[in-house]
Amino acid sequence: MVVRHPLSDADLDRLFRALADATRRDIVARLMAGEPLSVSALAARYNMSFAAVQKHVAALEAAGLVTKQPQGRERIVRGNPDRIGRARELLAHLEGLWRARFSQLDAVLADPTTTPE
């Protein structure tokens, strides 16, 4: 499988660093499963300060996982399915590489006449 739009190493680092935090993963899951929410509405769903939720949203926005748009006095946050899709493609590609390596290892282990190189 070929990854359609390769991301730079810095982009990948931001993406997976953002997804490494449980609160951020939950924010992304909420936004992908439902309607866009304001930062205030998101903050009301967590037992942390508004500023802390705002920092999580900023990290997700820097990674491209969400977008934030002004709407009056609020900032509306939406999930970015394209970036999630790119992460999924990359992980599927890496999974394919590892599965192929394990298949090769299984073949070597199953053949008693093979000698290690």
Residue 103: CATH number of its domain: 1.10.10.10
Q: What is the pLDDT, as a whole number, of residue 117?
A: 59
Instruction: Look at residue 81 and tell me if it is in a domain.
Output: yes
Q: What CA–CA distances, in Å, run from 104 to 58, 65, 76, 93, 113?
A: 43, 36, 49, 17, 15
Q: What is the pLDDT, as a whole number, of residue 2?
A: 47
Q: Which tokens is 4 given?
A: 């359609």
Question: Is 65 or 6 the better-scoring residue by pLDDT?
Answer: 65
pTM: 0.76
Residue 75 pLDDT > 80, yes or no?
Answer: yes
Instruction: Look at residue 117 and tell me if it is in a domain.
Output: no
Over residues 88-111, mean pLDDT: 85
Query: What domain range includes position 61?
Result: 9-110
Q: What is the pLDDT, as a whole number, of residue 56?
A: 97
Output the furthest CA–CA distance in the chain (Å, rounded).
Answer: 73
Q: Which tokens is 56 given?
A: 């999580």
pLDDT above 90 covers what percent of the chain? 54
